[in-house]
Amino acid sequence: MNSNKSLEILVGLFVSISIAALFFMALQVSHFNGLQSADSYEITAQFENISGLKNKALISMAGVPIGRVSDIQFNPEDYNALVTLQIEAQYNTLPSDTSASILTAGLLGEKYIGLTAGGLDEYLQAGDQIELTQSSLVLEQLISQFLFNKSDD
């Protein structure tokens, strides 16, 4: 009976350490946010070129993450990219002339969308579209522009 008890204690210890490892993984490693309320609203933006922007990319304003990209689609009418931005519901006071640009974190980092607030008093509602957008910089285009300018001199 006694050995049975110590055996059970060891098994219990093993299982609880493993569950602790799961919590460590969820909280420290992966920034688990399944428990937070997922209240958010969606707005869209059209970009001429999104090269490298991925689904779930960050949307930040003043450097603070306020949402994620939830969908990227090609718009066959205007030949540009239609990006759906999912903004957390608490940030519902973005001016309607907010501008969006695709930026890169660091030199080789991930692409993200940076929002810059405008000055109007009206706010963006769910389903609205951001009119002012700036595409991501494509290195090859920059270089070729630079070379063409050089050759003109």
Partner 1 sequence: MNFLQSIGQISLNSLAKCGRASIFLYHVLQSFSYLLTRPHLVIKQLFSVGVLSFWLIVISGLFVGMVLGLQGVYTLSTFGAESSLGIMVAASLVRELGPVISALLFAGRAGSALTAEIGLMKTTEQLAGMEMMAIDPLKYIMAPRFLAGFISLPLLALLFSSFGILGGHLAGVELLGVDTGSYWSQMQASIDFYDDIVNGIIKSLIFAALITWIALFEGYDAIPTSEGISRATTRTVVNSAFVILFFDFLLTALMFGSH
Return the range that interacts with partner 1 (CB under 8 A); candidates 7-15, 86-94, 125-133, 142-150. 7-15
Structure tokens given for 69:
């990209």
Measure the CA–CA gap between 134 and 102, rounded to whole angstroms: 7
Exposed e or buried b for every residue in 64-92, given b needs 16+ CB within 10 A? Answer: eebbbbbeeeeeeeeebbbbebbbbeebe
Q: Taking CB under 8 A as the criterion, which residues in 89-108 touch partner 1?
A: 108
Q: Which is nearer to partner 1, 9 or 142 (CB)?
A: 9
> 46 exposed, middle or buried (CB, 10 Å; 0-12, 13-18, 19+)?
middle
Q: Which is nearer to partner 1, 14 or 74 (CB)?
A: 14
- Which of 2, 28, 36, 37 contacts partner 1 by CB under 8 A? 28
Q: Taking CB under 8 A as the criterion, which residues in 29-88 touch partner 1?
A: 29-32, 34, 54, 56
Collapse the DSSP code of 132 into the 3-class scheme (helix H, G, I; strand E, B; otherwise coil) and give the result: strand
Q: Which is nearer to partner 1, 26 or 135 (CB)?
A: 26
Least distance (Å) between residue 72 CB and partner 1: 13
Return the range that interacts with partner 1 (CB under 8 A); candidates 18-26, 73-81, 87-95, 120-128. 18-26
Q: Where are the beta strands (DSSP E) in the chain?
A: 40-47, 58-61, 64-75, 80-88, 99-104, 111-116, 129-130, 132-134
Closest to 64 measured CA to CA, from 136, 137, 132, 115: 115
Return the range that interacts with partner 1 (CB under 8 A); candidates 1-9, 41-49, 71-79, 133-141. 1-9
Binding residues (CB under 8 A) for partner 1: these are 4, 7-8, 10-11, 13-15, 17-19, 21-22, 24-26, 28-32, 34, 54, 56, 108
